[in-house]
Structure 1
Amino acid sequence: MMGYRYLVIPNELEAADGQDHRALLQALGLRHQSPMGRFAVLAAVGTPTLSVQERCVIVGHLFRNDGGLVRDGEDIPLFAAPADLEAHLLGNFWGDYILLQGLPADSSLVVMRSPSGGMPCFYAGQSDRRFVTSDVSAAVSLGLCKKEVDWNHIRHGLTFPYLRAQQTGISGVRELLPGCSLRMGRQATAVHRAWSPWQFVAPGRRYGDALEAAQAVRQAVARAVQAWAEVDRKILLEISGGLDSSIVAACLGQATVEVQACTLVTPVPGADERDYARTMMDHVGFSLDEEHIRFEDARFEFAVSQSSTVPMVGILHYASDKAMEVAGDRGGAASYFSGGGGDTIFCYLKGAAPAADAFKEHGLSAGMTAIRDLATLHQCTWWKAAKLTLRKLRSRPHLLWKADTNFLAPSGVSQPHEHHPWFDLPADILPGDRERIFELIGAHSFKDGVPRDERRPVRFPLLAQPVVEACLRAPTWMWIAEGRNRSVARAAFADRLPAAILSRRSKGSYLNYCGAVYARQKSGMRDFLLGGRLRSHGYLDTAQLERFFAADLPARDLSFLRIFDLCMVENWVRQQT
């Protein structure tokens, strides 16, 4: 998020290089903000900051639980212990922010990143080059770190795609993951989990019935959407006509802000959802623009942001991002609003886990009802749904995150995977809760695949902390009630959505477009990978790749998506020297 940029460094580091150093900071657009003990907080113009105490600063937007924006640090009470202030913010506020606390006694810095993950946070802990920043390119320019590829992370990312790791692709630089707290001293750093999704799926936190769940989800989503809308005022809504983006549109329809909507159109069927998008826009009274993505708009070799720390912008991301950027420029939007992450937040699980959860927590009657709902949802027989549920009940998952070794040589495989803070599971966790919380790890990657946010922020209101918490408290079987996916969300907004959207079962897909892009560009992709840095490091199984590129792609074979991921990584590593 280039528009919101900050850098935290020790005071002595800020002053060490005199006038040249200060001139470089000014050239980077970073200016000294509030004093914070032995650390200097620098931020770009327009980056929100709040001074809470003499040694405490919040960077980003902070909202009260009622949705009101906090504009004065005096609204936040004083706490002696850093953990107490963290707990207070997590329980009474939400937003996209970083909490910074300087401890004068031992020159330590305590940093907490909000659970939404909307404000980036990277750090390095060397005693003479300590920093915390949203933009690693600023630290590189100041000589605080070097832009050298961490090849261990690349191997890890190839083996465990979309597992959000603390390690980054830049050597020596780590990411503070959403909901985590960092204590950085002169000689050591320590990270712990300040916020946990597991507490919201505990039996004592469950909603008692579907009506209570729907009311809570509706209130949380509406408050998050409207709070962000009041910040930005002029919004480009990215609408597909699917349930998630339509719910965001319905909430924007209740806000007194300027909204322009845009939907993407491809040359092949599958992703063209203009009819649904028009239906929703007519319902809320927003005008709708269309942006067409051509085959030639999808590229596997393109410039990546200098602030990126991991390969996350792929072929489809690039094409859709550029199209939305054009729409944002045309309308002069202050921000983009996206329904990204909605499938995960609204518990769109595709297996039998919800029925298994109902059996485990509420016994035979609830389990039988959930099996019936599962059969209706997947349009299969009751017996098949029961068989799948029994298999889920009997299974004992051993893997926390499944490896993908396809097209990798043995030297390109990383074992074991990095430990994510959410891998510390409570005892007797239900299988559906396990699945949806692990999917939430991947959902945070939505925020990394939108380089258009270098010019205006992309808001993901469905990933806001109160929305995530409200949705987690609704048991998984409630989300398949009456044989409808995302059932709680449908019930929550039944009076705000057109019948065509509310009853829709299909989902748009870019698979036809991606398949056509692969067919047109596979020769170039072959040369790109087989002549690239991943191969020179011995990470690719070149024989398997050669066979794959030489063969025709069978119908419904999605293996080419793995090729897209390899190209994404190759494109990123080529630009890091």
Structure 2
Amino acid sequence: MHAFIALLWHADHPSACHSAHKFLGRMEQAFDADHPCIKTPGFMLFDLGSNTTRDTIIRVNGADHKPVGAIFGTLFRRSNALAPSRPITNFAQDEMLRLSRSRNECVLSDYWGSYLAFHSDQDGGSVIADPTSSIPCFFLVHQGVLIVFSHLEKCTFIDPESLSLNYKFVSDLLAYDKIQSGATGFNEIQELRGGEKLVFHGPRLSRHLIWDPRVIASNHIAPCYEDAAAELRAMTRYVVQCWASAFEQTTVSLSGGLDSSIVLSCLSDTPFASNVRAIHFVMGTDDLTEVKFARASALKAKLPLKEIQFGALNLPRLDSHPRSARPFRKFLTLIPKLADIADILSPDSAILTGQGGDHLFRARTTTLGFADFLIDSGVSRNALRELLNSARLSRKSIWAVLREAIPSLALGARKSTLITGIEHACTPVNRSALASLDPRTCAPVWALEANGLPPAKFEQVSTLIHLFLVRETLDQPFHRNFVHPLISQPLIELCLRLPIYLLSWNGVSRGLVREAFKGEIPDCVRTRTAKGASTQFFVKQVTSNIVELREALLNGRLVEAKLLSRNDVSKFATVESVQTHEFGHKMLIYYTIEAWLRNWIEKLENVRTSA
């Protein structure tokens, strides 16, 4: 897990220097002095993570060979030949000059990975978050010092008395807990989103969007299907193998579905294979079992598989949510018995998942691919073929496809899928919060406005926000070195440039990637379009703990703050309601928000009482 804290300030301002060194003193009292760090006038960066055996700070020097910043995280050089390579541990002089002259912006075109790029100069500095937002990046300004950090719960040296709860943000989370607005649970703390650059000049802060997926998607390519499949296969293997090279031991979380099976296959018959194995978590509910598919994929890859049973459905204690900058779903993650996973928790090991494939490879039944084809090619000789493919993909008649696709050709008709989803996710408990939420404040502009993209491609772009929320957000031991290799910038950019009707080749969900990995994964997995689900697992978790959930919310801080209605909670928090309502599982989200809010209110009350 990557965790850090950084300080930037004006080295020529005495008051800012005094504040920075005073803050540094508190930091050094709070944690081990052996943490890797870089210290220069106006800039300090500390690695607070658990990966002490790996280099996570890469120094960047200017033309005078003096430090002007650093890259924190895991970084790979781009390769036109798609030749896998290990992470960068240092830059050549010409690379540092290019980085320093561009104030690190060339990191987006020349490199990729999981990182934050820091630049420092006499006027202040800047921070760039990688496009996938893989490392949480929060910031605040205190007495002339920009404080940037990944995990507030690790930053015990930040004075809680300087923080005030942002109740509007908490209310918005009840309506839609995947908000990426840049706001947090505190009025003083903001979040830097993926592909953004934060510029710090004195007391002035400004954000700039420097990676826009709509720009990538507008530069589309349309190779023949055979070439597209070959390129998709090569790119997928490249990013997976690069990530595997970063660790001594790699474990693939093998669900048995298409995407995780592809990840495992990319590591078979490679130099990494001897250090690769697979694990499969057995849910133990009425959801469609995936065990036989996981076994088939492991057998095809000739790699060992370990099956781990999830039995207990207990909720984490209300007082155990880390004091993070905002509530996170990861709080609810069930942790297996340590005896089952002890051998995969070392700093030199990683767990790779197949997360991200649904979004990138397009596991979606839509009619809009035909609209995109008409925009790209007009009523050409392949139009009938694509009309039939869209009908097959959407499971609708060609007339229904025409009724939905033709009106979407008008630019004004392209509504963000994200906004539609937010408006739909209403329960009796959150309807008041939903009514006060402006959906257009919930995400970056690229997820809200098409900017000329065809309708199906904009649908893909607007849902990337969910993809970028798949990250390790809390400081918990089980989450160390969880890596989602499919959520890598080169693969994302390729999938953005490929037309939707090509990704859904032959009218099949994820059709192109299925063809790309023909012969690499078992056909029972490759051709299967039904997906395993964990829906019943979460419903069972709610119903098994309905009394605890009900009491926590009825007597909680959310009701006290009038963010929830006690009457609404009382009516909805029943086994029958949860089992019959489409969003009954959201009771777990409300519990998470309640746990976070309760933990912080008690902390702030104790601090102010003792003061």
- The 5-angstrom pairing of residues 124-143 of structure 1 reads 124-143=140-159
Q: Does 1:61 align with 2:83?
A: no
Report the Cα offset of residue 380 of structure 1.
Answer: 4.1
- The 5-angstrom pairing of residues 79-228 of structure 1 reads 79=97, 84-104=102-122, 106=123, 108-143=124-159, 146=162, 148-202=164-218, 204-228=219-243
Report the Cα offset of residue 558 of structure 1.
Answer: 2.0
TM-score relative to the length of structure 1: 0.90
1:43 to 47, 53, 70: 47
Q: Give the Cα–Cα distance (whole angstroms) in 1 for the partners of residues 552 and 177 of structure 2.
A: 20
Report the Cα offset of residue 140 of structure 1.
Answer: 4.1
Q: Give the Cα–Cα distance (whole angstroms) in 2 for the partners of residues 265 and 458 of structure 1.
A: 19
Cα deviation digits, residues 193-250 of structure 1 (max 9, x gap): 1111112211x43233323322222222111111111111201210111111011101
Q: Does 1:229 align with 2:247?
A: no
Q: Does 1:562 align with 2:586?
A: yes
Whether the 8 Å CA contact 1:125–1:188 is kept in 2: the answer is no
Q: Does 1:284 align with 2:324?
A: no
2:289 to 272, 276, 286: 272
Please give the secondary structure, in 1, of the residue aligned with 2:278: strand
Q: Give the Cα–Cα distance (whole angstroms) in 1 for the partners of residues 44 and 475 of structure 2.
A: 28
Report the Cα offset of residue 501 of structure 1.
Answer: 1.3
- The 5-angstrom pairing of residues 161-560 of structure 1 reads 161-202=177-218, 204-257=219-272, 258-299=275-316, 301=318, 303-306=320-323, 308-313=324-329, 317-319=332-334, 322-323=335-336, 327-331=340-344, 334-365=349-380, 366-390=382-406, 392-393=408-409, 396-398=413-415, 401=419, 402-403=422-423, 404-406=425-427, 407-408=429-430, 410=432, 413-417=435-439, 418=441, 420-423=444-447, 425=449, 427-448=451-472, 452=476, 456-550=480-574, 552-553=576-577, 557-560=581-584
Report the Cα offset of residue 52 of structure 1.
Answer: 1.7
Q: Give the Cα–Cα distance (whole angstroms) in 2 for the partners of residues 55 and 502 of structure 1.
A: 49
Whether the 8 Å CA contact 1:126–1:186 is kept in 2: the answer is no
- What code does the residue aligned with 2:297 have? M
Match of 1:33 in 2: 38
Long gaps (5+) in structure 1:
none
- The 5-angstrom pairing of residues 64-79 of structure 1 reads 64-66=77-79, 67-68=84-85, 69-74=87-92, 76-79=94-97
Report the Cα offset of residue 122 of structure 1.
Answer: 1.3
Whether the 8 Å CA contact 2:447–2:464 is kept in 1: the answer is no
Q: Give the Cα–Cα distance (whole angstroms) in 2 for the partners of residues 59 and 302 of structure 1.
A: 32
Question: Which of 471-480 and 371-380 deviates more?
Answer: 371-380
Cα deviation digits, residues 18-67 of structure 1 (max 9, x gap): 995364154486454252x4222222444511112121211111111124
TM-score relative to the length of structure 2: 0.85
Whether the 8 Å CA contact 1:33–1:43 is kept in 2: the answer is no
Report the Cα offset of residue 482 of structure 1.
Answer: 1.5
Whether the 8 Å CA contact 1:298–1:318 is kept in 2: the answer is no
Q: Give the Cα–Cα distance (whole angstroms) in 2 for the partners of residues 138 and 488 of structure 1.
A: 43
Match of 1:8 in 2: 7
- What code does the residue aligned with 1:357 have? D
- What code does the residue aligned with 1:494 have? K
Q: Give the Cα–Cα distance (whole angstroms) in 1 for the partners of residues 242 and 531 of structure 2.
A: 28
Whether the 8 Å CA contact 2:8–2:125 is kept in 1: the answer is no
Report the Cα offset of residue 509 of structure 1.
Answer: 0.6
Question: Which of 345-354 and 424-433 deviates more?
Answer: 424-433
Whether the 8 Å CA contact 1:338–1:460 is kept in 2: the answer is yes
- What code does the residue aligned with 2:112 have? W
Long gaps (5+) in structure 2:
12-16, 62-66, 604-611
Identity %: 19
Report the Cα offset of residue 151 of structure 1.
Answer: 1.3
- What code does the residue aligned with 1:38 have? G
Please give the secondary structure, in 1, of the residue aligned with 2:371: helix
Q: Give the Cα–Cα distance (whole angstroms) in 1 for the partners of residues 183 and 309 of structure 2.
A: 37
Question: Which of 114-123 and 95-104 deviates more?
Answer: 114-123
Please give the secondary structure, in 1, of the residue aligned with 2:531: coil
In the superposition, relative to structure 1, how do residues 26 and 310 fare at CA in structure 2: closer, same or farther (>3 Å)?
Answer: closer
In the superposition, relative to structure 1, how do residues 80 and 242 fare at CA in structure 2: closer, same or farther (>3 Å)?
Answer: closer
